[in-house]
Amino acid sequence: MLLSDDLSAAGFDQPFELLRGCHARITRMDALLLRLIDHVALKETQGRPKFPCSPRGAGRRADPGGAQEGTDAQAQQAAGKVLRYFDVAAPLHHEDEELHVFPLLRVSAEEWDGDDAVLETLESDHRVLDVLWAELRDWLLQVKAAQALPASALIANAAQRFSALHAAHIAIENTRIFPAAQARMNTAQITAMGQDMAARRGVRWPSD
């Protein structure tokens, strides 16, 4: 069974919880990407192994028709999930932060656990992640189309860097940036933030 997307029950009335939910999804998509790279390499050398649904292979089950989890169709599905998330949701998440979170801390008169250099580093991370994603995307498209060879050393390295940078970036935002920004926003500002996040995703909110 592939990863569930049901990671957050937060709505646009809780925009910071939505951002944290996005971070959880990013972490899960990074893990799926790394397992997919291993899977394609193993399939090339050992035939058709099961897709590793968990780090220890837990949760595997035989298909009634004889196909195992981890067939080409499963690898294609996994590649599609990673592509869909980082092509669509991740850029919107970066916009959320750059429009609503970082600017607020830059103009805040109150001290917080950081400075403009921290925010500049986080924005720079977004640009680096964009470059790494461009390197990974073509290979994932090949996997989705069942045309992929095992990832080259360059692709495997890019995936490791992509995952590691996300982990460091998320840790700073979850522990320092989001709490500081949320503490400086009043109810009207939080509502406006949620409305903008919804609008940029084509969602009407509030719905009434």
Between residues 65 and 150, which one has the greater pLDDT?
Answer: 150
Answer yes or no: is 182 within a domain.
yes
The reported pTM is 0.82
Low-confidence winner among 50-54, 105-109, 165-169 (lowest mean pLDDT): 50-54
Rounded to an integer, the average pLDDT of 78-101 is 97
Phi, psi for 26 (deg, rounded to 5)? -60, -45
Answer yes or no: is 189 within a domain.
yes
Residue 50 near residue 70, CB atoms below 8 Å: yes
Phi, psi for 204 (deg, rounded to 5)? -85, 120
Answer yes or no: is 208 within a domain.
no
Residue 90: half-sphere exposure toward Cβ, Cα within 13 Å = 23
Find all residues with CB under 8 Å of 91, minimum gap 6, and list them. none
* Helix, strand, or coil (residue 167): helix
Supply the pLDDT for residue 44: 62
**Which residue type does 143 have?**
V
Answer yes or no: is 157 within a domain.
yes
Using pLDDT thresholds of 50, 70 and 90, give the confidence band for residue 163: very high
Phi, psi for 7 (deg, rounded to 5)? -110, -15
Answer yes or no: is 192 within a domain.
yes
Answer yes or no: is 3 within a domain.
no
Is pLDDT at 58 greater than 80 in this prediction?
A: no
Q: Tally Cβ neighbours within 10 Å of residue 38.
A: 15
Using pLDDT thresholds of 50, 70 and 90, give the confidence band for residue 51: low
Cα 106 to Cα 115: distance, rounded to the nearest angstrom: 8
**Which residue type does 138 have?**
D
Supply the pLDDT for residue 45: 61
Is pLDDT at 146 greater than 90 in this prediction?
A: no
CA 18-80-130 angle, 5° bins: 60
Phi-psi map region of 119: left, alpha, beta (phi>0 left; psi -120 to 50 alpha): alpha
Cα 70 to Cα 53: distance, rounded to the nearest angstrom: 8
Which structural domain, as residue segments, surrounds residue 48?
A: 15-200
* Helix, strand, or coil (residue 158): helix
CATH number, domain containing residue 131: 1.20.120.520
Answer yes or no: is 5 within a domain.
no
Is pLDDT at 70 greater than 70 in this prediction?
A: no
Rounded to an integer, the average pLDDT of 129-135 is 98
Using one digit for the tens of pLDDT, what is the confidence trace for 113-129?
778 899 999 999 999 99
Is pLDDT at 149 greater than 90 in this prediction?
A: no
What's the domain count of the chain? 1
Closest CA to 160 of 32, 34, 24: 34
